């Protein structure tokens, strides 16, 4: 049996018949586009009556989030309690039902607080070698301060960015068609 020759370089790109391909065309999902239009329609339905305002910049949305204000108008309160969201904005009427920050804020805070507290504890242990009870007295308040104080602002920041980028939950696509 003779060995096969090496493939030669192509001078023109190979044309692929995407209609007959098993997976279909890359990065084109009609069912997802329809679902996205539905989500965007829900967000548009939530727009206030009258003339639509210009889309705020990412910096403006982030500042609204850090101030714990409504992601759309920047004036209404976002929270009804410490971490309990209000049902809607008291100024512009934005329904907060779309909000789903999940565990994102907690994860960011845990990572930042862990790096700060562990770094400080290691420095103190190596330099001064205090007893364990003193470690507990030193680091328990620092842990509480670095986790609870920024949690509210981090949650509202992620909510504001979610609103700014019109983020929506992922959906499964039925490819049986």
Tens-digit pLDDT profile for residues 8-17: 555 555 565 5
Choice between 48 and 87, residue whose per-residue pLDDT is larger: 87
Secondary structure in 3-state letters for 102-155: CCHHHHHHHHHHHHHHHHHHHHHHHHHCCCHHHHHHHHHHHHHHHHHHHHHHHH
Q: Flag whether pLDDT at 80 surpasses 80.
A: yes
- The Cα–Cα gap between 31 and 34 comes to 5
Region 43-63 average pLDDT:
70
Q: Read out DSSP for 49-104? A: SSSPPPPPPHHHHHHHHHTTB-TTTS-SBSBSSSSPBPSB-TTT--BGGG---TTH
Percent of the chain with pLDDT over 70: 69
CA angle 21, 24, 28 (to 5 degrees): 155
As a whole number, the mean pLDDT across the chain is: 81
Question: Which among 36-40, 54-58, 143-147, 170-174 has the top mean pLDDT?
Answer: 143-147
CA distances from 146 to 104, 107, 141, 161 (A): 16, 13, 9, 22
What pLDDT sits at residue 4? 63
Kindly report the length of the chain.
177
What is the mean predicted confidence (pLDDT) over 89-109?
A: 93
Q: What is the pTM of this model?
A: 0.66
pLDDT of residue 19: 56
Give the tokens for residue 25.
């065309």
* Percentage of residues of the chain with pLDDT beyond 90: 59
Per-residue confidence (pLDDT) for residue 53, from 0 to 100 = 63
């Amino acid at each position: 049996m003779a060995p096969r020759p090496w493939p030669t370089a192509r001078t023109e790109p190979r044309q692929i018949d995407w209609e007959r391909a098993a997976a279909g065309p890359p990065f084109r999902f009609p069912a997802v586009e329809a679902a996205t239009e539905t989500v965007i329609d829900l967000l548009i339905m939530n727009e206030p009556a009258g003339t639509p305002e210009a889309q705020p910049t990412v910096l403006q949305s982030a500042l609204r989030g850090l101030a714990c204000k409504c992601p759309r108008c920047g004036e209404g309160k976002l929270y009804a309690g410490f971490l309990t969201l209000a049902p809607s904005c008291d100024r512009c009427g934005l329904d907060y039902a779309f909000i789903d920050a999940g565990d994102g804020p907690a994860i960011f805070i845990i990572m930042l607080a862990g790096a700060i507290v562990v770094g400080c504890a290691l420095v103190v242990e190596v330099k001064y070698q205090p007893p364990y009870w003193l470690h507990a007295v030193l680091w328990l308040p620092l842990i509480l301060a670095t986790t609870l104080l920024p949690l509210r602002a981090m949650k509202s920041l992620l909510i504001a960015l979610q609103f700014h980028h019109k983020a929506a939950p992922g959906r499964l696509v039925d490819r049986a068609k």
